[in-house]
Structure 1
Amino acid sequence: MRSFKLFDRLLGRSAAPAPFVAGEALGAMQAAMEAGRSCILPKGAVIVPEPKHPEAERIAASIRDFPEDWGWTMKGYKMIHTPSGFVLWVANQDYGLAEVYSNGGKGDFSKPEQEIIWPAVEGWLARHKVGFTGRLPKARITGRSGTFWCFAKEYPWAGVGDSPEEAYRAWRHAISAQARNDMKPGEYLQVRGATL
């Protein structure tokens, strides 16, 4: 021991502790524990229990962290992890979650596994709602020489009519199946499609 460290120790002066490097310290502790030796954890260390259901944790983490990797194979029933081809049955919470096998069979997850996976699935479903909300997008109406056009950027259809109301009505019937319920029998509306 060097003399100035000895004096510091004898006089009760504390030297600055060495900086804690997480990777090095944890690697050394893990090696010691695997060898069967005891080790002292640094002050403030948090011990995280090993997951009891690692497969469920991985599925939930994938759905939460990489939602763009998931899509529908059957809307409202089956989700697919596109990179791996893993299919998950998510029809409703009462039935439960299940893995869909390539032969069409299903392997149900246990209740504790479902409790881990289902919140991530609900979050994904909330972002990827199925169906029409019933609300039409905002449309633009332009007119020239007595002919009016109605269109919206989201749809490749334009309604044409002699008045703004006729143009909007034609456009609305072109993009919404619900709006077609109020069409009169034998009524024809003029609609144009965009060329791509």
Structure 2
Amino acid sequence: MRSFKLLDRLLGRNAEPFVPGAHLSALSSKMEAGQCWIVPEGAVVVPSPPEPKYPEAERIAASIRDFPEDWGWERKGYDLVHIPSGFRLWVANEDYGLAEVHPNNGKTDFTKPEQAIIWPAVADWLGHRKVGFTGRLPKATITGRRGTYWCFAQEHPWAGVGSSPAEAYRIWKFAISVEARVDISPGEYLQLRSVKL
């Protein structure tokens, strides 16, 4: 655009319809911060969005909200892990606060304003992943060798040991279910083993 046409446009001498943004490119190339500029009548000036004060907290909260399937438990009930990157987030206690967990198990705490940004997303993630108690025992596996039978399940750290499959299951059931313990005879001993080291 020739400078005379721009000057005519700025002074209102031209009757051409104004197209927002069409003539501003000539001005924007010479604009500098802190200087005063005349903008054509009818131009819409939009302020740039403010820079976030806590960009890391915003990114973490957005990731938890928008891609919840990318997050899982590293240690159930203690810290979440962002599976693609390995980033770990301590979430065990809201009063204690949120922290980034390092590979050596050290932690860097987030500030209170950062926690205020991240906690709602974490609380929503935790709320959607709660599994209520159904009252049914999980599916157990029973194995045996030389007259000794073992009963265990992947979700529980205990194995019941007995001389028959029914006895091994009964002992395992007593170990993991409070409701099943009402059937224990007084003075009866249970043979349990830990299946996790």
Query: Shorter-normalised TM-score: what interval?
Result: 0.5 to 0.7
Deviations 1:90-133 (A, max 9, x none): 0011000000000110000111111111111111111112xx52
1:185-196 map, 5 Å:
185=185
Structure 1, unmatched stretches of 5+, are 138-169, 187-196
- 2:80 alignment counterpart: 79
Counterpart in the other structure of 2:122: 121
Structure 1 residue 71 displacement after superposition? 0.1
1:134 maps to a residue whose letter is F
Alignment partner, residue 177 of structure 1: 177
Give the RMSD, CA atoms, in angstroms.
4.0
With over 3 angstroms needed to count, the CA separation of the structure-2 counterparts of 1:136 and 1:37, relative to structure 1, is same
TM-superposed deviation, 1:65: 0.6
Report what 2:91 is aligned to.
Answer: 90
SS of 2:77 mapped into structure 1: coil
TM-score (norm 2): 0.54
Distance in 2, Cα, partners of 1:92 & 1:66:
23
Encode CA deviations 1:32-71: one digit per residue, 9 max, x unaligned: 77x6476769527354210111111111110011000000
Residue identity (%): 46
CA–CA separation in structure 1 for the residues paired with 2:92 and 2:177: 25
Query: Runs ≥4 in structure 1, deviation > 3 angstroms?
Result: 17-21, 35-42, 181-186
Q: Which residue of 2 is the match for residue 155 of structure 1?
A: none
Q: TM-score, normalised by structure 1?
A: 0.54
